[in-house]
């Protein structure tokens, strides 16, 4: 990434206008032509530095469910369990972490019932208990990572 | 604040991301059979109502060089959770801060995420957090991620997904 890519990433983490010519507005703020911004964004997306360009939803306000869940998986069985969990469309993120609870994933579904069904299915298919850790209160989401 | 069918169609249409064209909302509106103005009004309302938290980019922190990512979990006396969370957010170092339930054998009830380009940098941010008087005395654990298997946004109201 060069300086302009970084400026674009940093600028856009602050939000995006919902107006008829949003890219033109952002380009003007950055002092570059609209066509250059579009080309740069295409490149940033294709290189995987940006994963998506659009809305971040509030799952619960859409009637959906988003549950952080932990599991304790023996290392010799980790790959099998990871494969099962990763293959499920309800799983949005899955990370291995250094702890006794060593697998942490997010179950994202359109309804709470579907989330419970996914948690039940994982416990049944893997043979290990799952520990849902639902959000009780959100104090903060979002961070600008300086590119 | 219930979603109507138009809201659901709009949510489904924009979640994969906006097209990189001069009038992205016009392009989406055309697909949906609505006008650009209608789409812009609907999206603005969904933001105002909070169903859309924000509109912008989703940055892949790993690809930006932030490879030392840790979930830090804190055991906070229940009556101090709000103050501890406020102190954490105040530092502007954490990307998330959630209260979650304790579990047997798991005393932690406040979760945050720290990102760094190295473990030293991430642990340095944790040290800065712990300078806050509200956080200094709390016990916490750092769970660095070692592998990322999956990172995608949650998806809602996609056609066919409810079946």
Each residue's pLDDT tens digit, B148-160: 886 555 555 544 3
Task: Give pLDDT tens digits for A29-87.
Answer: 999 999 999 999 999 999 888 877 777 777 677 777 889 999 999 999 999 999 999 99
Note the pLDDT of residue B151.
59
What Å distances lie between residue A145 and B60, B93, B127, CA to CA?
Answer: 10, 10, 19
Q: Which of A8-12, A57-61, A123-127, B108-112 has the lowest mean pLDDT?
A: A57-61
Residue of A84 and B17 predicted with greater confidence = A84
Cα–Cα distance for residue pair A128/A81, rounded to 1 Å: 9
- Interchain pair B40, A57: CB under 8 A: no
Task: Give pLDDT tens digits for A105-117.
Answer: 999 888 889 999 9
Note the pLDDT of residue B153.
52
What Å distances lie between residue A22 and A10, A27, A29, A34, B13, CA to CA?
Answer: 16, 9, 11, 10, 17
- Interchain pair A51, B147: CB under 8 A: no
What Å distances lie between residue A141 and A144, B80, B147, B149, CA to CA?
Answer: 10, 20, 22, 22
Q: Which member of B17, B43, B94 has the closest CB to residue A53?
A: B17
What Å distances lie between residue B67 and A12, B62, B70, CA to CA?
Answer: 21, 5, 9
Residue A108 contacts residue A93 (beta carbons within 8 Å) = no
Task: Give pLDDT tens digits for B73-128.
Answer: 999 999 999 999 999 999 989 988 999 999 888 999 999 999 999 999 999 999 99
Cα–Cα distance for residue pair A102/A75, rounded to 1 Å: 9
Helix axes B36-49, B5-14, angle to 10 degrees: 90
- Interchain pair A34, B22: CB under 8 A: yes
Tokens of A131: 């520990």
- Interchain pair B43, A93: CB under 8 A: no
Task: For residue A141, list chain B residues with Cβ-Cβ distance below 8 A.
Answer: 53, 95-97
| CB count in 10 Å sphere of residue B138 | 17
Nearest-CA distance B39 → chain A (Å): 9
Task: Give pLDDT tens digits for B53-66.
Answer: 777 777 777 778 88
What is the pTM for the complete model shown?
0.77
Nearest-CA distance A72 → chain B (Å): 12
> Which of A45, A57, A24 has its CA nearest to residue B12?
A57
Pairing of strands B139-151, A103-109: unpaired
The SS3 of residue A96 is: strand
Q: How many CA atoms lie within 13 A of A113 on its CB side?
A: 1
| CB count in 10 Å sphere of residue B18 | 21
A146 has a pLDDT exceeding 80? no
φ/ψ (deg, to 5) at A110 = -80, -20
Edge to edge, the sheet with strand A137-141 lists A131-133, A65-71, A103-109, A91-97, B139-151, B68-75, B110-116, B94-99, A137-141
Q: Where are the alpha helices (DSSP H) in chain A?
A: 3-12, 22-30, 34-46, 78-87, 112-126
Residue B12 contacts residue B156 (beta carbons within 8 Å) = yes
Cα–Cα distance for residue pair B43/B50, rounded to 1 Å: 11
Residue B155 contacts residue B9 (beta carbons within 8 Å) = no
φ/ψ (deg, to 5) at B22 = -60, -35
Cα–Cα distance for residue pair B145/B133, rounded to 1 Å: 27
Note the pLDDT of residue B159.
40
- Interchain pair A51, B1: CB under 8 A: no
Cα–Cα distance for residue pair B53/B46, rounded to 1 Å: 9
Nearest-CA distance B29 → chain A (Å): 11
Cα–Cα distance for residue pair A65/A134, rounded to 1 Å: 9
- Interchain pair B54, A48: CB under 8 A: no
């Amino acid at each position: 990434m060069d300086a302009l890519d970084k400026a674009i990433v940093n600028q856009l983490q602050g939000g995006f206008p919902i107006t008829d010519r949003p890219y033109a507005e952002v380009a003007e703020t950055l002092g570059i032509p609209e066509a250059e911004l579009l080309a740069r964004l295409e490149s940033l997306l294709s290189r995987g530095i940006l994963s998506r360009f659009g809305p971040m939803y509030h799952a619960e306000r859409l009637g959906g469910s988003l549950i952080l869940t932990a599991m304790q998986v023996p290392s010799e069985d980790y790959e099998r369990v990871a494969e099962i969990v990763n293959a499920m469309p309800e799983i949005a993120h899955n990370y291995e972490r250094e702890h006794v609870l060593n697998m942490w994933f997010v179950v994202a579904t359109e309804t709470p019932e579907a989330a419970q069904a996914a948690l039940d299915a994982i416990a049944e298919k893997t043979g290990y208990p799952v520990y849902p850790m639902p959000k009780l209160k959100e104090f903060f989401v979002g961070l600008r990572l300086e590119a | 604040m219930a979603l109507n069918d138009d809201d659901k169609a709009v949510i489904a249409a924009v979640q994969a991301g906006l097209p990189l064209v001069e009038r992205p909302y016009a392009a989406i509106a055309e697909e949906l059979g609505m006008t650009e103005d209608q789409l812009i009004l609907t999206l603005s309302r969904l933001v105002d109502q909070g169903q859309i938290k924000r509109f912008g980019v989703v940055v892949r922190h790993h690809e930006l060089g932030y490879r030392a990512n840790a979930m830090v979990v804190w055991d906070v006396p229940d009556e101090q959770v709000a103050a501890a969370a406020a102190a954490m957010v105040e530092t502007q170092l954490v990307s998330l801060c959630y209260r979650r339930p304790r579990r047997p054998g798991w005393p932690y009830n406040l979760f945050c995420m720290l990102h760094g380009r190295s473990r030293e940098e991430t642990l340095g941010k944790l040290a800065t957090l712990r300078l806050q008087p509200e956080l200094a005395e709390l016990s916490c654990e750092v769970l660095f991620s070692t592998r990322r298997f999956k990172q995608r946004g949650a998806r809602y109201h996609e056609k066919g997904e409810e079946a």
